[in-house]
């Protein structure tokens, strides 16, 4: 029974297990992401994250401690020069495990292990989400700042000098003494509100007048056509038929010829 045994031995002895984890750690530091089983990734996270925390303190002692675990000069230099600078503001949680499913053959649970600060796609999504939230807050502040000068203008308008108050009082007395027969002039707001209504009424009246004029023109044209037809019919009834006139001409010529023959 494995009660209170947190370390996963990974079916290996101590030396083999440490050698495997140091190799995996150095490859993760150099390539920034590796593909392995979920059990090995969880064991590697416990092995690697304390080393990344030590790399934030770039001293000879910390370099020697990290080198005793990694056994690789290039990996230790990469860790202290680039990874430590990239992860300086992060208080732990330097790695991420993304599960991929089971492997064909032995059906082992596979995953991808990567350093958090080197995944550019996820970092871009986080930046876009933070920008959208900042825009909303900025919009609210803008509305508040836009309202403040209006209130200041109103306060300035309400504060009148004593001379202006005296002049306004005299103007009010003069307006009270004026005869009541004269109607009060409408304010600018009322005039501006009445203008579109008056324009709409005028446009409707103009349209109605145009329609009436068009109807009158069409009626006049129809009457003119009827009168023209009547005149044409009357002129046709008064004119004599043309063939009869031709016959009369021929008869008169025949009579003249017969008279000439008798004389001869």
Q: What is the domain-level CATH number for residue 85?
A: 3.90.1030.10
Asked if residue 253 belongs to a domain, the reply is yes
Range of 145-154, 201-210, 242-251 with top mean pLDDT: 201-210
Least confident of 30-39, 131-140, 196-205: 131-140
Cross-strand bridge partners of residue 35: 112
Asked if residue 208 belongs to a domain, the reply is yes
Q: Is the pLDDT of residue 114 over 90?
A: yes
Asked if residue 128 belongs to a domain, the reply is no
**Residues in contact with 40: Cβ distance below 8 Å, sequence separation at least 6, in sequence order:** 10, 20, 24
Write down which residue in 104, 121, 138 finishes a domain.
121
Long-range CB pairs of 81-89 (<8 Å, 24+ gap) are 83/29, 83/52, 83/55, 83/115, 84/52, 84/55, 84/56, 84/58, 86/115, 86/117, 86/118, 87/52, 87/56, 87/115, 87/116, 87/117, 88/56
| Torsion of Cα atoms, 6 then 18 then 39 then 44, to 10° | 90
Percent of the chain with pLDDT over 70: 64
Q: Is the pLDDT of residue 147 over 70?
A: no
Distance (Å, rounded) from C-alpha 93 to C-alpha 115? 9
Lookup result for tokens 């068009």: 214
Asked if residue 69 belongs to a domain, the reply is yes
Asked if residue 31 belongs to a domain, the reply is yes
How many independent structural domains does the chain possess?
2
Distance (Å, rounded) from C-alpha 155 to C-alpha 178? 32
Range of 84-93, 137-146, 190-199, 238-247 with top mean pLDDT: 84-93
Asked whether residue 20 falls in the same domain as residue 108, the answer is yes
Write down which residue in 98, 121, 144 finishes a domain.
121
Asked if residue 75 belongs to a domain, the reply is yes
Write down which residue in 95, 121, 147 finishes a domain.
121
Asked if residue 255 belongs to a domain, the reply is yes
Asked if residue 162 belongs to a domain, the reply is no
**Residues in contact with 27: Cβ distance below 8 Å, sequence separation at least 6, in sequence order:** 34
Asked whether residue 117 falls in the same domain as residue 18, the answer is yes
Range of the domain at 236: 199-264
**Average pLDDT of the residues in 38-49:** 96
Structure tokens belonging to residue 233: 């019919």
H or E stretch at 35: strand 33-37
Q: What is the pLDDT of residue 229?
A: 79
Q: What is the pLDDT of residue 45?
A: 96
């Amino acid at each position: 029974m494995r009660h209170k045994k947190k370390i996963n031995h990974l079916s290996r002895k101590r030396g083999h297990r440490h050698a495997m984890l140091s190799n995996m750690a150095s490859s993760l530091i150099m390539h920034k992401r590796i593909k392995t089983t979920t059990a090995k990734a969880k064991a590697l996270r416990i092995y690697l994250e304390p080393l990344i925390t030590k790399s934030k303190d770039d001293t000879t002692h910390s370099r020697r401690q990290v080198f005793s675990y990694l056994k690789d000069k290039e990996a230790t230099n990469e860790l202290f020069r680039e990874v430590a600078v990239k992860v300086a503001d992060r208080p732990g949680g330097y790695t991420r495990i993304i599960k991929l499913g089971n492997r064909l053959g032995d059906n082992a649970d596979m995953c991808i292990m990567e350093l958090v600060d080197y995944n550019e796609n996820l970092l871009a999504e986080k930046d876009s989400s933070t920008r959208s939230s900042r825009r909303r807050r900025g919009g609210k502040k803008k509305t508040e700042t836009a309202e403040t000068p209006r209130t200041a203008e109103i306060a300035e308008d309400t504060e009148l000098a004593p001379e202006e108050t005296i002049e306004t009082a005299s103007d009010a007395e003069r307006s009270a003494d004026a005869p009541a027969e004269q109607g009060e002039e409408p304010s600018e707001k009322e005039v501006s509100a009445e203008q579109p209504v008056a324009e709409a009424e005028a446009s409707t009246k103009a349209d109605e007048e145009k329609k009436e004029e068009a109807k009158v023109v069409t009626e006049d044209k129809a009457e003119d056509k009827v009168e023209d037809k009547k005149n044409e019919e009357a002129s046709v009834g008064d004119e004599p038929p043309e063939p009869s006139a031709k016959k009369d001409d021929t008869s008169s010529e025949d009579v003249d010829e017969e008279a000439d023959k008798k004389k001869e």
